[in-house]
Amino acid sequence: MSAFLNAAATSVATADSAEGPACAEPLPVLGRDVTVPLVTGGEVTYAALDYAASAPALQRVWDDVAAYAPYYGSVHRGAGYLSQLSTDLFEQSRVTVAEFLDCRPCDQVVFTRSTTDSLNLLAAVLPADCQVFVFETEHHASLLPWTNAQVTYLNAPRTPGEAVATLERALAEREPSPSSSSWGDPKGPALVCVTGASNVTGELWPVKELAAAAHAHGARIVLDAAQLAPHHPVSVQDLDVDWVAFSGHKLYAPFGSGVLAGRADWLQQAEPYLAGGGASRKVARREDGGVDVEWHTTAARHEAGSPNVIGVYSIASACKALTEAGFDSLVARERHLIAKVREGLAEVPAVRVLSLFGDDAPRVGVISFVVDGWNSSHFAAALSAEYGIGVRDGLFCAHPLVRTLLGSEPQAQGECGAPEAAPGERSLNAIRVSFGAGTPDEHVERFVRAVQELVADGAKWQYRTEEGRCVPAV
């Protein structure tokens, strides 16, 4: 591995370059014993290999939620004992998340619905005339929310170093914005949005170097940690990012909450994301008949409405569970699984693994590939129906990146997924296998064997196309 890649790997997570203690067992997750029928007869335990979309709940998270559920009460404005207990748990969850992310003391943790929601919230609080810089390789959640800003889409880099150089060049060349005179930086406000780990290739991005480049040019940076946080420790202070966004359902806490954590100033200066109760401190009728509102300046400003207490509590529980399990051992175990999958796929010449930064790039347990002569939907359907393995096929809500990697043209149809090709035709989409802290060796071993058998022997069953997807014919 080159010195730079080594540096890039350590820049997102120090645990990645250390050997780290081996973690013998996967963490217990819900559904680990669930069996599913095979079209060819019989049943197998379900191999959930779609963690990048949604990871199963950690048993520990489920147990914590179940233990709390009888004590559940309305938060913040309730006078009863359970309301006060729930309020304490809710507010304590903020502290737990801040610790998990190693936030600065003055950072705010805002609870949202998801990463998408968090990034849309940040987009809604951008200062006037803010310029946004985003690589075309981003997930749509990071690529698309900036409709009210002047966005510069940066071309896909082919090395982490090229990513940093591309960003530096774009920031250096940016024109002063109309409000530059009233802004601290001579060119006005700017924001860079970057993913920590790709949801397509699993590759780690040089976040620390990109943050340094952004700051050197007077810009701020938000880290999309949707795929990074479940696999690696994320330190806001060490990476020196201004905000971090992630989703509970990818962090083994699938109860509908997400997080935006980081600098308070832009959040406090903007209008509330949603107007309503909870965000407002004082509301009074004016003599002219209108209404005066005093909004909170804490995280509550952007949390109007009754919050998802269970969702928030479950995220805090997951943060604690991962921290207690230890990222050193989680990373070591995941590397062992990644090696098994990559080595297994490398033995199949028909398989092409998609990569932006090359074989040596540090990565998390997210691997996308195509199989020569196979429609990806057909392949994924056969993995499910004949082997009980749940993967994903499509463009993974990162259309520009997957098309760059496949070298294919945009399709006429197919939002977030479904290919149009009939079974047996070559696909314009890819297959993604992804795993994490709850994945036993047997799941990835079964997956590798299944790929090898399908390529060697073909599918054992007939499939047909239904609404753009391949499904077993019977």
Ligand X SMILES: Cc1ncc(COP(=O)(O)O)c(C=O)c1O
Q: Does 224 bind ligand X (CB under 6 A)?
A: yes
Within residues 331-390, the interface with ligand X by CB under 6 A covers none
Total of residues contacting ligand X (CB under 6 A): 15
Q: Rg of the chain over CA atoms, in angstroms? A: 23
Q: Does 115 bind ligand X (CB under 6 A)?
A: yes
* Residue in the structure block whose two tokens are 């075309």: 136
Residue 242 CB, nearest distance to ligand X (Å)? 17
Choose between 361 and 459: whose C-beta lies nearer to ligand X: 361
Q: Judged by CB under 6 A, which stretch of 33-41, 152-160, 162-170, 219-227 contacts ligand X? A: 219-227
Within residues 52-71, the interface with ligand X by CB under 6 A covers 52-53
Rounded Cα distance between 474 and 464, Å, is 9
Best CA proximity match to 199, nearest among 453, 396, 415: 396
Contact yes or no for 341/28 (Cβ under 8 A): no
Choose between 430 and 454: whose C-beta lies nearer to ligand X: 430
Among 199, 308, 429, 439, binds ligand X (CB under 6 A): 199
* Side chain identity at residue 412, one-letter code: A
List Cβ neighbours of 324 (8 Å cut-off, separation of 6 or more).
none
Choose between 86 and 355: whose C-beta lies nearer to ligand X: 355
CB-neighbour burial class of residue 291 (10 A; exposed 0-12, middle 13-18, buried 19+): exposed
Q: Specify whether the backbone of 110 is left (phi greater than 0), alpha (psi in -120 to 50) or beta.
A: beta
List Cβ neighbours of 151 (8 Å cut-off, separation of 6 or more).
131, 132, 133, 134
Rounded Cα distance between 337 and 386, Å, is 22
| Binding mask of the shown chain, residues 264 to 293, with x at each position contacting ligand X by CB under 6 A | ------------------------------
Rounded Cα distance between 246 and 109, Å, is 11
Residue 139 CB, nearest distance to ligand X (Å)? 4
Choose between 227 and 465: whose C-beta lies nearer to ligand X: 227
Choose between 93 and 142: whose C-beta lies nearer to ligand X: 142
Among 96, 137, 247, 376, binds ligand X (CB under 6 A): 247
Annotated catalytic sites, by residue? 397
Among 141, 214, 341, 395, binds ligand X (CB under 6 A): 141
Among 49, 122, 190, 226, binds ligand X (CB under 6 A): 226
Best CA proximity match to 433, nearest among 356, 357, 369, 387: 369
Choose between 195 and 314: whose C-beta lies nearer to ligand X: 195
Q: Does 201 bind ligand X (CB under 6 A)?
A: no
Query: Which residues contribute to the site for ligand X (CB under 6 A)?
Result: 52-53, 114-116, 139, 141-142, 195, 199, 224, 226-227, 247, 249
